[in-house]
Amino acid sequence: MRRAGDALGRRGGHRQLKQLSGGMRGLLGRLSVAVVVLLICTISLLSTMKGNTADYGSKISLGDLWQSAASGGWRPSSAPRSDWPPPPTETNGYLRVRCNGGLNQQRSAICNAVLAARIMNATLVLPELDANYFWHDNSGFQGIYDVEHFILSLKYDVRIVESIPEIHKNGKTKKLKAYQLRPPRDAPINWYTTVALEKMKEHGAIYLTPFSHRLAEEIDNPEYQRLRCRVNYHALRFKPNIMKFSNAIVNKLRAKGPFMAIHLRFEMDMLAFAGCFDIFTPEEQKILKKYRKDNFAPKELVYSQRRAIGKCPLTPEEVGLILRAMGFDNSTRIYLAAGDIFGGERYMKPLRSLFPHLENHSTVGPADELAENTRGLLGSAVDYMVCLLSNIFMPTYDGPSNFANNLMGHRLYYGFRTTIQPDRKALAPILIDRENGRTAGFEAAVRRVIFNSKFGGPHKRIQPESFYTNSWPECFCQMSAQNPADKCPPDNVMELLNSRLYGEETNNVEQMNSNITNVSL
């Protein structure tokens, strides 16, 4: 700040002194306001820190984290709770979709496809899975999921066929050709009941491509949301060989006690997307920048700014430091769900020195044909199941990561299983201070951030949190609910659905027989 004497010496005179005096008074006034605001913020921060310290010190212990979070009397339930008629025998046409992206983006798209078919009273053709852009994997739906289980699980909701049928016309047999449409992103329900349905009735079948994020997530119809949960958490079951392989890994890990699974998102695609280049060598930066240029829209990204607001994935070392600050020691057993770590062992070494008991599906899985082919969608499916069944799950980057977001939602549905979700924005200044040599109070500061969390308990969904990350309260219920909308459905709800489905099929058969009889007479 310029000193008063210097300014006066350069200008001189009574008039300048008067102007300076007035300016100083204004400046002091503004400074006073700033000091008061700063003081209020400091007191508020200290109070919050004190409150948080008391909370995590008295309510949460490290041992608690190895157990599921408190349910508050809630339990998962995606069965219908109001009138839910079975799908009609005669539908409006056939719906084909092509689900693009990785395994979990495709998983969300499959849930949306089932719901879209229900909305339009359409017959769903088994969804197509696009060859993954990163792994170039073309396993397809039949290579990943149990098709028979998928179709049977949803028989009360939609009619599903494995392929589009053939039609007979003018003595020739050919496949029904679907009219291709590109749905708007996050399209509302009325787009499907107007534009899409009109084309379906006109052509007999429609083909929606691409089909990722093409149906609005927030829908003011809890039964539609529960259908999504039935698809996601019940109907979408991996093929038996994938389940067997995953269970073998889990059993091997559990044989030595509880274990933690970490989704370590420190791969080339995510680092390029985030624009976090500066910690790498010039050669590595060149690789990341080229990948970003080839795969993402141009955008000016400044590493220091991105880092300061928590937009960079946690490094393996930062993950280790956070866990140590929480109290986990080097005997903790960790399963890593990750692709190829960019920078290789140079970045893994610090984490390995803190937590030597690190495993992945290659090191702990049985040696068989599946184990040798666990790249791409198959590897992602195995990692998904092991993370789902782990005692603790920790995602290191939950921004655009469909894997982490879907898993958090599945673990919530699976019984409020503990999830450690680091607040990267709150942790960023603490980690930056440590890098700059200011290490005093580091662990206490980390604990204040980390332990100010629900660790997987029921909580209200607030934007931008996705429905697939938190389906509470639509897909949960309470036995002793004060709100009737939260009450659990009757235990025999599936019997009722089955009875209605069987009753409609019987009526349809009787009607068909009657028509045949009338024609014969």
Q: Are 199 and 206 in contact (CB under 8 A)?
A: yes
List the alpha helices (DSSP H) in 80-221.
Answer: 103-120, 140-144, 147-153, 189-191, 197-203
- DSSP per residue, 90-104: S-S-EEEEEE-SSHH
Closest Cα partner for 120 from 63, 67, 167, 183?
Answer: 183
Is 477 within 8 Å of 231 (Cβ atoms)? no
- What whole-number distance in Å separates Cα of residue 321 and Cα of residue 354? 8
Per-residue pLDDT of the chain (521 residues; tens, 9 = 90+): 333 333 333 333 444 434 434 444 444 444 443 433 333 333 333 333 333 333 333 357 888 899 999 898 999 999 999 899 999 989 999 999 999 988 899 999 999 999 999 999 999 999 999 876 555 667 789 999 999 999 999 999 999 999 998 887 777 778 889 999 999 999 999 999 999 999 999 999 999 999 999 999 999 999 999 999 999 999 999 999 999 999 999 999 999 999 999 999 999 999 999 999 999 999 999 999 999 999 999 998 899 999 999 999 999 999 999 999 999 999 999 999 988 899 999 999 999 999 999 999 888 877 665 555 556 678 889 999 999 999 999 999 876 678 999 999 999 999 999 999 999 999 999 999 999 999 999 999 999 999 987 798 899 998 889 999 999 999 999 988 888 889 998 876 767 777 777 765 445 434 433 433 333 22
Query: From residue 488, how far is each of 7, 79, 448, 483 by CA, in Å?
Result: 76, 9, 37, 11
Nearest CA to 222 out of 416, 415, 77 is that of 77
Give the Cβ contact number of residue 357 at 10 Å.
15
Distances (CA, A) of 514 to 91, 215, 496, 501: 21, 41, 27, 20
**Interatomic CA distance for residues 508 and 506, integer angstroms:** 5
Closest alpha carbon to 393 in 363, 415, 364, 362: 415
Domain 240-478 classification at class level: alpha beta
Which contiguous run of DSSP H or E holds residue 358? strand 358-359
Output the CA torsion sign for 426, 49, 405, 328: positive
Q: Could you tell me the two tokens for 491?
A: 């235990």
Beta-bridge partners for 394: 262
Partners of 393 in beta bridges: 261, 419
Burial class (CB in 10 A: 0-12, 13-18, 19+), 370: buried
Question: Rounded to an integer, what distance in angstroms lies between the CA atom of residue 306 and that of residue 309?
Answer: 6
> Residue 465 region, left (φ>0) first, then alpha (ψ -120 to 50), else beta?
beta
Q: Which two tokens stand for residue 12?
A: 């001189």
